[in-house]
């Protein structure tokens, strides 16, 4: 694989110490050896970050560094989730609560939040800081997909596993046969 351009790595951080951690079992995740759906929006912790790094080898992962008390974070998160869902599995959103995961916040050198960074083939790519309008998010994600394609990261996550935080919409029940109504 070719090296990332110098411009793409400006402000890059070394996350290799987090990569070598044994992956922790996320709540609701399938046991080792089981294949399970990969949601498009996932909550990530210091302990589960290694899984996100692995996933970034096949699909770009957008990391949203946020906190519960942060007003701009609450404005930006729904926009990020909407755009990621519309991209139909071409991007995964990893949400990191910086208060609960200080090691990740330090690893990404988060000076202010919300801070959005992408991972492409395990390498961090700074995207933006602060709440930005939806149109700008779309433009940045389009550029991210171009960069990912240049580096051979063009996989997709099967659509349908879009359960954000485990609350997928209920499938519609089939209609009752006329005799049963």
**Residues forming the active site:** 70, 73
3-state percent breakdown (helix, strand, coil) of the chain, nearest 5: 30, 15, 55
Dist. CA 163–CA 97, nearest whole Å: 19
* DSSP annotation of 65: E
Dist. CA 118–CA 107, nearest whole Å: 13
Residue with tokens 């210091």: 46
* Distances from the Cα of 77 to the Cα of 59, 124, 146, angstroms: 20, 19, 23
Give yes or no for a contact between 125 and 117, defined as CB atoms under 8 angstroms apart. Answer: yes
Residue with tokens 């404005």: 75
């Amino acid at each position: 694989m070719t090296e990332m351009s110098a411009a793409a790595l400006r402000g890059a951080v070394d996350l290799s110490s987090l990569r070598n951690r044994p992956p922790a079992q996320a709540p609701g995740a399938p046991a080792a050896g089981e294949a399970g759906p990969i949601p498009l929006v996932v909550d990530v912790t210091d302990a589960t970050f290694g899984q996100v790094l692995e996933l970034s080898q096949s699909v770009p992962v957008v990391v949203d560094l946020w906190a519960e008390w942060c007003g701009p974070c609450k404005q930006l998160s729904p926009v990020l989730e909407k755009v990621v869902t519309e991209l139909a599995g071409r991007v995964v959103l990893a949400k990191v609560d910086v208060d609960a995961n200080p090691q990740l916040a330090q690893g990404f050198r988060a000076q202010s939040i919300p801070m959005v960074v992408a991972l492409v083939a395990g390498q961090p790519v700074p995207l933006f800081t602060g709440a930005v309008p939806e149109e700008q998010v779309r433009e940045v994600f389009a550029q991210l997909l171009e960069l990912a394609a240049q580096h051979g990261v063009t996989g997709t996550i099967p659509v349908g596993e879009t359960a954000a935080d485990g609350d997928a919409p209920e499938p519609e029940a089939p209609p009752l046969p006329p005799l049963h109504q």
